[in-house]
Structure 1
Amino acid sequence: MSVTAILNEKGRQVTTIDPGAVVRDAVRLLHENRIGAVVIVDADDSIAGILTERDVVAAMDRFGADCLNMPISAVMWSKVHSCTENMSINDIMEIMNNMRARHLPVEKNGRLVGIVSIGDAVRHHIRAIENEAEQIKAYISGHDGAVVHL
């Protein structure tokens, strides 16, 4: 299963914000949309960064409540780990694990086309394992439901 399958099921809408906005604006988007990350995009929809709940907590620790009035660019993660639509779920799970990233923006031709979360990846991975188990059970019991005797 690929990233395309995830995006086709969940949709391609991504909550984004301009890099010149302040952290308070991003926090509002996180809360209102009940999401864990907002992608920062420039004027041509290129990914400039990502801001997660963890980044906000780190900024609060470093700067106190004053961080809410700071530009997002001062606290966002600019070295964004991303993926492409043709990557497999195993590929993105490996990136997420190695980079300790819970969200991966999806890029196509340098532009943002979606986002996948660790929850999306785990959900689809479990579904694939369940489907494989059902296929094995069907094979063992015979393709037409009859029990195979050895």
Structure 2
Amino acid sequence: MSVQGILKEKGCGVITAPPKATVAEACRLLHDNHIGAIVVVDEQNSIRGIFTERDVVSVIASSGASALGEDLQHVMWKNVHCCTKDTSINGLMEAMNRHKARHLPVQANGRLAGIISIGDVVRHHIRAIEYEAEYIRSYIAG
């Protein structure tokens, strides 16, 4: 299975924010949507950065409460690691592990096309193991 399969199951919706949104606004989006990352996009839906729960902790630890008024463009992670709809699950796990990323935006034709979280990958992996175990049980039972 590839990223495309995961997106078919979970959908392609992504919570986004513009670069000029504040940290406080981003925190509200994270909280209200029960998510761990927001993709920062421009008017053309091109990925400009990502802002995660880890970034909230980092910016407040370094700047205090005044960081809540900062624009995302100043505190977001700009070197965003992305995947494509054709990325394999193994490739996805490898990229997440290598970059220590819990979220990878999906990019298609230079635009945001979805997001994959580590939870999505784990759910897929568990289902694959359960399917394999059931197949082996059926084969043994004959």
How does 1:110-149 map onto structure 2 within 5 Å?
A: 110-142=110-142
- Number of matched pairs: 142
1:59 equivalent in structure 2: 59
For residues 56 and 74 of structure 1, the distance between their equivalents in structure 2, rounded to whole angstroms, comes to 12
Q: Which moved more, 1:88-97 or 1:53-62?
A: 88-97
User: Deviation digits for residues 99-141 of structure 1, max 9, x if unmatched?
Assistant: 1000000011111010010000011011011111111222222
Higher helix share: 2
* Gap runs ≥5 in structure 1: 143-150
* Gap runs ≥5 in structure 2: none
**Higher Cα radius of gyration:** 1
1:18 equivalent in structure 2: 18
> Normalising by the residue count of structure 1, what TM-score does the alignment of the two structures yield?
0.92
Q: What is the percentage of aligned positions where both structures have the same residue?
A: 59
For residues 48 and 138 of structure 2, the distance between their equivalents in structure 1, rounded to whole angstroms, comes to 48
The RMSD of aligned alpha carbons is 0.8
> Normalising by the residue count of structure 2, what TM-score does the alignment of the two structures yield?
0.97
SS at match of 1:79: coil
